[in-house]
Structure 1
Amino acid sequence: MFGGGAAPIVVLSQNTKRDSGKKVQKENIQAGKTIADVVRTCLGPQAMLKMLMDPMGGIVMTNDGNAILREITVQHPAAKSIIEIARTQDEEVGDGTTSVVVLAGEVLAKAELFLDQGLHPTVIIKAYKQALEDMVAVLKDRVSINVDTNDQTKLFDVVRSCIGTKFVGRWSDLICKIALEAVNTVKLDQNGYQEIDIKRYIKVEKLPGGVIENSCVLKGIMLNKDVTHPKMKRFIKNPRIVLLDCPLEYKKGESQTNVEIMKETDFSKMLELEEKFVKKLCDDVISVKPDLVFTEKGLSDLAQHYLLKANISAIRRVRKSDMNRVSRACGATIINRTEELRESHVGTGAGVFEIKKVGDEYFCYITDCEDPKACTIILRGASKDVLNETERNIQDALHVAKNLILEPKLVPGGGAVEMSVSRILVEQANGIPGVIKLPYAAVAQALEIIPRTLIQNCGANTIRTLTKLRAKHAETADCTFGIHGETGELVDMKEYGIWEPVSVKMQTYKTAIETAILLLRIDDIVSGSKKKSADDNSGPSMPTQQSMQE
């Protein structure tokens, strides 16, 4: 049976295998439900905060589903994949991270009933897939409305409904204004194709001090940098800007370089060569008559001297990402070699360059740009914790604004769209033959977890309110009634003005149900760890009772 040092072969009976599969599926479902329970109280305007402590003793207070799940440490592989879906949701659409985890947990919980009744996972998966296709079709064609992207009031309302559940809800008007202004600034229309790159061209600078009301969007860039020489100009109107990706200093030899100096004049000659090299670099830059030079690399004392003589201000060691933003804002081109500098590479789109002191630090402002396709959001607040939470909330608002402009379709919020989709799926389930009808209808019931959680988080009567809501949606086909997030009462979302982008809802449903399908496909978890014995050739190793159980 075994050769010298061969791995053990464990033969399991068919019955043992089946039990193991069912047990693993149950564990996976339990893991999904547990993670959903962690973030369930973080849904809606009355959401509770979680205080998270990292191993270093730092504290984060947030009700952002993605931020909470990022900090949680879990061992179970299924729980890890549930946590991963929150990250996917955040990266894809930037909102709905809590909803997607709660929905995935509920869809898995519904599957558990069918597994207990002996229904094969493949049948459940088939029903779930069909339900997901129908949900997407219903969202696109039946329950969504088109919105005019030029109607700033409507956009404002939608972004506000996203912010309303967050910590910064009290300053929702200001945050919505900032988000829409920033997204409209970086929007780029090229041959009918719209590009909105939030990650690269919108920078959030957090400055502790002041109050949140002092936050604003700069029509330009702000860097945490000062000029390299104290005598350089700190205020320039309409500056000509040059961006360099090369050092303005003498190139050092590699570690293998050997220089033999025989007499005193050799050393002087070396210094002379160095000066000559730096002077040539500076002359190349000065030839295009800039007022301001940014470089990603170093800037020697000698180069500072030459630039100062030419009345040029210089800022060194600027990050690559900041250079890209400055380039977009003022129209300059980043150059890798000073010899290549031409007049066309100089940026002339900036209105004002100035150095300001905020607190104890100096900041470089490039503002009043003609057509800045990059911007900086300045956040002020009492402490770092407040600023960090505000930044997380602003990122959500930016994503919602971006999704709206790219796909201008809306669905009613407050659980109204879930009830509408649920009602339509229940109607369609009646026409489905065979056993898949039951899991299909179960997905429709699972959608009710969103309004139910909203009611629970308000402290209202769950059963009574949900029954009323069902009745409302059963009466009229295009019902937009949902849950008032603060009182737990029924309100018409059309009148109340709570709307959500259809792209967020669609991504939520797709991610939640596809993850549930993925976890239901798993019928065994095999650990890949291998224990090394002291002597590999000591003969055959018999399987232990523990390895049999595993």
Structure 2
Amino acid sequence: MFGGGAPVVVLNQNTKRESGRKVQLGNVTAAKTIADVIRTCLGPRSMLKMLMDPMGGIVMTNDGNAILREIMVEHPAAKSMIEIARTQDEEVGDGTTSVIILAGEIMSVAEQFLKQEMHPTVIISAYRQALEDLIEILREQVSVSVDTNDRQEMLKIVKSCVGTKFIRKWSDLACQIALDATQTVALEEGGRTEIDIKRYAKVEKIPGGTIEESEVLKGCMINKDVVHPKMKRKLTNPRILLLDCNLEYKKGESQTNLEITKEEDFMKILQLEEAYIQSICEDIISFKPDLVITEKGVSDLAQHFLVKAGITAIRRLRKSDNNRIARAVGATIVSRTDEIREEDIGTGCGLFEVKKIGEEYFTFITECKNPKACTILLRGASKDILSEVERNLQDAMNVARNVLVDPRLVPGGGAGEMALSCALNEKSKSITGVTQWPYRAVSRALEVIPRTLIQNCGANTIRTLTALRAKHATEGNTTWGIDGESGNLVDMKDYGVWEPFSVKAQTYKTAIETAILLLRIDDIVSGTKKQLDTQGAPQAPPAGGPEA
């Protein structure tokens, strides 16, 4: 019996164990390696990465999250780094590249302290204090509030996000699309703004045409055609009924048996089916809708009754598309035809039209009076280009959403980081004891963002960074940063590059907290099963040595 209830780790010949300083330094190296992979993806002069997936598909992008999603890594610390890019993307939708570079640098500056035998707990407490001070300084001294009703100001903010992406050539159009889409789906509820871009701002990609033809529709577009050729393909101010039920006779399951002895019985069954279809169609027709959209099927007989009543029908719609149409036209989705009420009918649509684009038919439900959902129609040369444009637009919409939810801005181009670096460096002088060194190291690590921007546009790193540090040492110069195109120093107030406060705050929190988490690890234990061959004996490793 073991006393004290302590956990017992059984180490057999198959269990690998690494511990202590070796693990911590290994984690630092892994974090640095992941950061180095996407270091060149920061800023307007960023490089693209070409990724090949196992199915042979190719993705070309400079979006940190998209790149890290495709990378396969073995090291557990490297997996944690990839996870933070995903967290950042889900939380605020932007800053995925910055958060990885910053987390890698914060891990990197801890390396010298670990080599000097400083205990990780001391480093962690300094990092925690630095994070608290950093967020406070960012809110009180560096950030400025913004008027979300000023359209020009909002477009400038979104433009600073799009400026580093593939679509910067069409940045004016992209910014307008992103801002219009975000403002369309904004919903005021109980004194707070709720903006659900993923669900209600759908991006539809149609290859062909030019990017200039892309637009935000005041309503929805779906890749469907009417179910019967005699149905109308254009309606103005239609009454729209949305259903979540079959307009066909529901056949019994496989265990249902019918025994027919006389010919009349068969006719009777057909009459029952026909009567059922007729009754559900009469339920619908009594409310005089012009357009019926259902998520399930519509039988030939139901089509016949609907055509006779002059009603257009569309079937087999996705649930998500149906929800969007409901928000856009002010309708309620009904699950049974005998439960339809007058208030369930949507009357907010101005125009229903079916158009043929290329080889396919598309249904447009547009000119809605107060749409709280929209479709972004993207046109472009090829699928690859459209996919990259869609990724860039998602980032731009997230920026607009973050500003609408928390209307505070931080100067971009590395200005915010440099201002925080100087403020933390100044504050570290008042800290006594050994913790001041890791605290000061955080301030040094923040300089990685302006430094990377300078490196990516090929300017002189040391000279430019020193000049920028000198600018920020002067009181009140918190808005000076790097012009990512040329590598020169510019005042972001005049240059017009701003970033949402929520993105920056989330970037610092995620980066520093991840570094804290990884520094607390002092043991990696992994149990690996040996492969057994058919005789049950362990197999020898392949001739080329163990796999990488």
**Please, what TM-score do these two structures have when normalized by structure 2?**
0.94
1:216 aligns with 2:215: yes
Residue 540 of structure 2 is matched in structure 1 by none
Residue 400 of structure 1 is matched in structure 2 by 399
**Letter matched to residue 195 of structure 1:** E
Aligned partners of 1:200 and 1:321 also within 8 Å: yes
Residues 366-515 of structure 1 correspond to what in structure 2 (within 5 A)?
Answer: 366-515=365-514
Residues 7-46 of structure 1 correspond to what in structure 2 (within 5 A)?
Answer: 9-10=10-11, 20-46=19-45
Shift of 1:479: 2.6
Shift of 1:8: 9.5
Aligned CA RMSD, in angstroms, stands at 2.0
**Letter matched to residue 272 of structure 1:** Q
What is the SS of the residue equivalent to 2:524?
A: coil
Aligned partners of 1:214 and 1:379 also within 8 Å: yes
Q: Measure the CA separation in 2 of the matches of 1:419 and 1:359.
A: 51
Residue 83 of structure 1 is matched in structure 2 by 82
What is the SS of the residue equivalent to 2:526?
A: coil
Q: Measure the CA separation in 1 of the matches of 2:70 and 2:529.
A: 29
Unaligned runs of 5+ in 1: 2-6, 539-550
1:160 aligns with 2:142: no
Q: Measure the CA separation in 1 of the matches of 2:227 and 2:533.
A: 62
Residues 122-137 of structure 1 correspond to what in structure 2 (within 5 A)?
Answer: 122-137=121-136
Residue 176 of structure 2 is matched in structure 1 by 177
**Letter matched to residue 269 of structure 1:** K
Residue 288 of structure 1 is matched in structure 2 by 287
Q: Measure the CA separation in 2 of the matches of 1:235 and 1:456.
A: 56
1:273 aligns with 2:283: no
Q: Measure the CA separation in 1 of the matches of 2:81 and 2:189.
A: 38
Shift of 1:190: 2.7
Shift of 1:20: 2.5
Query: What whole-Å deviation, never above 9, does each CA across 1:221-254 have from its counterpart, x for those lacking one?
Result: 0000000001100000100000000000001101
Unaligned runs of 5+ in 2: 2-7, 538-548
Residues 66-77 of structure 1 correspond to what in structure 2 (within 5 A)?
Answer: 66-77=65-76
| Change in CA separation of 1:336 and 1:11 when aligned onto 2, cut-off 3 Å | closer
Aligned partners of 1:143 and 1:478 also within 8 Å: no
How many corresponding residue pairs? Answer: 528
- The answer to which of 354-363 and 258-267 deviates more is 258-267
Shift of 1:142: 1.0
What is the SS of the residue equivalent to 1:60?
A: strand
Query: What whole-Å deviation, never above 9, does each CA across 1:197-223 have from its counterpart, x for those lacking one?
Result: 101110100010111111100000000
**Letter matched to residue 185 of structure 1:** T
Query: What whole-Å deviation, never above 9, does each CA across 1:146-182 have from its counterpart, x for those lacking one?
Result: 0011111111111000000000011110000001111
Q: Measure the CA separation in 1 of the matches of 2:501 and 2:19.
A: 40
Aligned partners of 2:41 and 2:47 also within 8 Å: yes
Q: Measure the CA separation in 2 of the matches of 1:24 and 1:256.
A: 61
Q: Measure the CA separation in 2 of the matches of 1:111 and 1:498.
A: 31
Shift of 1:432: 1.0
Residues 290-309 of structure 1 correspond to what in structure 2 (within 5 A)?
Answer: 290-309=289-308
- The answer to which of 266-275 and 526-535 deviates more is 526-535
What is the SS of the residue equivalent to 1:67?
A: helix
Identical columns (%): 67
Residue 199 of structure 1 is matched in structure 2 by 198
What is the SS of the residue equivalent to 2:525?
A: coil
Aligned partners of 2:40 and 2:46 also within 8 Å: yes
Residue 59 of structure 1 is matched in structure 2 by 58
Aligned partners of 2:218 and 2:368 also within 8 Å: yes
Q: Measure the CA separation in 2 of the matches of 1:490 and 1:534.
A: 65
Aligned partners of 2:142 and 2:478 also within 8 Å: no
| Change in CA separation of 1:9 and 1:191 when aligned onto 2, cut-off 3 Å | closer
Shift of 1:23: 0.8
**Letter matched to residue 383 of structure 2:** K
Residue 546 of structure 1 is matched in structure 2 by none
Shift of 1:10: 4.3
- The answer to which of 525-534 and 322-331 deviates more is 525-534
| Change in CA separation of 1:341 and 1:10 when aligned onto 2, cut-off 3 Å | closer
**Please, what TM-score do these two structures have when normalized by structure 1?**
0.93
